[in-house]
């Protein structure tokens, strides 16, 4: 092993915990599962915000969306940007002599905050394109430690479906029978949903082929022995009640990590980790300090507990985590803050008087079109009404009600627990400089707030 400490970060676009290493025996993901057998599978990994651009900014800055300022999409008419004063993984590591590259989908702005050295133009759905660029990057960086960020276009929707009719270089189609696909507990089981899911599952298998092609290049380069590898996603599946929603069907995500020096392999880690933990973890691995004069990181390194499969981990400090969401597209305003514990989950919907908006790709999907056209009022175990019109506050028992179909906010036996969680969320919002505290002040939820 060289003295370098490098990082390969592979990120999918809208991938849920669908792989054999997560107990799914339907969808084929052999490359991801092979890595999982040599690494660590996190069973309780959560994106900070279930929105593409926002989540990627959370990953790279180590801050929540209400802190880093990229509240929603950065492209086109949406125009959200990360605050200029924010630090980021590529910015910090570049200053320390690391080669930095972003191949495929980046989806964060501005370049001054995310100054990658190498950003080739590639087809983010082509394993061949991505692996060729990976090889070029590694050749260029042969005398440097590196941070390489690879963003695949899979399994995001494309066109009217997932774009699977196009067979890009390096893709081997799989094909899944709509009649046989498993239907998640928050979706209606009908032919349209099944057809939608079959294409989604095909797209996941193609994402797996991207992962395999890149890992092969890393192995051939001879640098795998110095490289911490992440295989993850921005957020979960692109379906109503998942993407851009507070439900765990949008936040509960896959994370597989491989460390060349870990002691226990093929294990499942039970820590509740969050996407703001990536930045401190990566800096920890690279042996690089976070700038002293910068805004403190919201997360912490999970490197010390990487190969710990006990429960609880440590002194129970990994038993809860927070979510924060503001926008998806500029028209998708539905801010909320969440405290997720191992059993109970508290949700504070800051715009509960609004109907839940859907991202444009979800609204146009055949799944939601059928809901509208066929007057479907039941979305799996959730009602359509409870999805579209959510309460100001909600508490869910994630063990006994994983679909989050029964709001326990008025449950007398949980009153003390709820008040504790409510206060923790307020404290979290103060700690992370949440601008939406002004709204809470005007509503009388808090007594004082100075922006």
Tens of pLDDT, residue by residue, the chain (451 residues): 567 899 999 999 999 999 999 999 999 999 999 999 999 999 999 999 999 999 999 999 999 999 999 999 988 889 899 999 999 999 999 999 999 999 999 999 999 999 999 999 999 999 999 999 999 999 999 999 999 999 999 999 998 899 999 999 999 999 999 999 999 999 999 999 999 999 999 999 999 999 999 999 999 999 999 999 999 999 999 999 999 999 999 999 999 999 999 999 999 999 999 999 999 999 999 999 999 999 999 999 999 999 999 988 878 899 999 999 999 999 999 999 999 999 999 999 999 999 999 999 999 999 999 999 999 999 999 999 999 999 999 999 999 999 999 999 999 999 999 999 999 999 999 999 999 999 999 999 998 777 6
Strand partners, 160: none
Task: State the pLDDT at residue 451.
Answer: 66
Q: Among residues 92, 93, 231, 77, which one has the least CA distance to residue 150?
A: 231
CA separation for the pair 199, 380 (Å, rounded): 19
Task: State the pLDDT at residue 2.
Answer: 63
Cα angle 148, 149, 152; round to 5 = 135
Identify the sign of the CA torsion 283, 289, 291, 295. positive
Task: State the pLDDT at residue 77.
Answer: 87
Phi, psi of 270 (to 5 degrees): -100, 5
Task: State the pLDDT at residue 90.
Answer: 98
DSSP secondary structure code for residue 141 in this structure:
T
Give one word for 432, left, alpha or beta, with left for phi > 0 and alpha for psi -120 to 50: alpha
Q: In 3-state terms, the chain is what percent helix, strand and coil (to 5)?
A: 30, 20, 50
Task: State the pLDDT at residue 160.
Answer: 80
CA separation for the pair 150, 132 (Å, rounded): 12
Task: State the pLDDT at residue 314.
Answer: 77
Task: State the pLDDT at residue 3.
Answer: 77
Domains of the chain: 4-303 (3.40.720.10), 320-441 (3.30.1120.10)
Task: State the pLDDT at residue 315.
Answer: 80
């Amino acid at each position: 092993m060289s003295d370098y400490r490098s990082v390969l970060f592979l990120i999918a676009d809208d991938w849920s915990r669908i792989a054999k290493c997560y107990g799914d025996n339907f969808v084929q993901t052999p490359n991801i599962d092979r890595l999982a057998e040599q690494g660590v599978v996190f069973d309780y990994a959560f994106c900070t915000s279930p929105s593409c651009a926002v989540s990627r900014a959370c990953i790279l800055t180590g801050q929540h969306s209400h802190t880093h300022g990229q509240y929603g999409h950065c492209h086109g008419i949406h125009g959200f940007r990360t605050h200029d004063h924010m630090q980021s993984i590529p910015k910090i590591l570049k200053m320390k002599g690391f080669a930095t590259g972003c191949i495929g989908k980046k989806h964060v702005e501005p370049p001054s905050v995310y100054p990658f050295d190498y950003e080739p133009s590639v087809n983010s759905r082509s394993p061949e394109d991505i692996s060729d660029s990976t090889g070029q990057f590694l050749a260029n960086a042969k005398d440097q430690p590196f941070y390489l960020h690879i963003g695949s276009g899979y399994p995001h929707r494309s066109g009217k479906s997932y774009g699977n009719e196009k067979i890009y270089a390096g893709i081997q189609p799989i094909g899944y029978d709509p009649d046989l696909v498993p239907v998640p507990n928050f979706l209606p089981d009908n032919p349209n949903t099944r057809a939608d899911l079959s294409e989604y599952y095909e797209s996941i298998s193609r994402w797996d082929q991207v992962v395999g092609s890149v890992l092969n290049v890393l192995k051939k380069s001879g640098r795998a022995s110095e490289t911490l590898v992440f295989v993850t996603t921005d957020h979960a599946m692109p379906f109503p009640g998942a993407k851009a929603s507070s439900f765990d069907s949008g936040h509960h995500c896959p994370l597989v990590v491989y460390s060349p020096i870990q002691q226990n392999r093929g294990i499942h880690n039970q820590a509740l980790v969050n996407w703001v933990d990536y930045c401190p973890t990566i800096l920890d691995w690279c042996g690089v300090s976070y700038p002293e004069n910068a805004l403190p990181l919201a997360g912490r390194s999970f490197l010390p507990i990487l190969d710990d499969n006990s429960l609880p981990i440590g002194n129970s400090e990994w038993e809860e985590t927070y979510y924060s969401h503001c926008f998806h597209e500029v028209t998708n305003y539905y801010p909320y803050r969440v405290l997720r514990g191992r059993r109970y989950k508290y949700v504070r919907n800051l715009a509960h008087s609004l109907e839940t908006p859907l991202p444009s790709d979800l609204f146009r999907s055949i799944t939601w079109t059928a809901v509208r056209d066929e007057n479907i009022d039941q979305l799996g175990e959730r009602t359509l009404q409870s999805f579209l019109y959510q309460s100001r506050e909600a508490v869910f028992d994630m063990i006994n009600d994983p679909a989050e179909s029964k709001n326990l906010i008025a449950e007398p036996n949980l009153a003390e627990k709820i008040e504790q969680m409510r206060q923790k969320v307020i404290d979290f919002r103060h700690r992370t400089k949440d601008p939406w505290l002004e709204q809470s002040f005007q509503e009388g939820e808090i007594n004082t707030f100075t922006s």
